[in-house]
Amino acid sequence: MCVSPTFAQGEKPECEKGRKGKDRTARMEQIIKELELNETQAAEFRAINQKYGEQLRSERTEMQKQNQAHREKAKTINESRKEEIKNILSNEQYDKLEKMQRKNHNAHKGQKGEKPHYKHKHHEKS
């Protein structure tokens, strides 16, 4: 979240341009208005949100770096696994395995982001 001076109607501060979703600055100002904060409270509210917003952005960046490192490590492990499996299978078996894996991958590819539909059993305490 960025703290910025007043802008002309419809104009956004540089840090808010191009963001998807809600205009965070406008939302913060709406909250300030709805809470009827005085100028001191509003300034502190903005500063607190800026401080923690920066910390969250920093944490998000760090998590993305870690996720990339985990993906790279997993890729290396999978490549090693693949080589060992390839050594024990015939060429025909290995080709068949790859086709099976591609088919499985493609079947699940379209399901990303969808939540599985599980039936939950309700257990009653005795």
> Does a structural domain hold residue 112?
no
> Does a structural domain hold residue 37?
yes
Q: How many domains does the chain have?
A: 1
Residues 87 and 107: their CA atoms lie apart, in Å, by: 27
- Assigned token pair, 104: 């499985």
Closest among 51, 46, 55 to 25, alpha carbons compared: 46
> Does a structural domain hold residue 4?
no
pLDDT at 109: 75
- Assigned token pair, 20: 């998807």
Work out the pLDDT band at 110, boundaries 50, 70, 90.
low
> Does a structural domain hold residue 121?
no
pLDDT at 111: 65
Is the pLDDT score of 20 beyond 70? no
Helix boundaries (H) for 1-126 = 24-35, 39-88, 91-109
Work out the pLDDT band at 39, boundaries 50, 70, 90.
very high
Range of the domain at 103: 21-107
> Does a structural domain hold residue 116?
no
pTM above 0.75, yes or no: no
pLDDT in tens, 51-77: 998 899 899 999 999 999 999 999 999
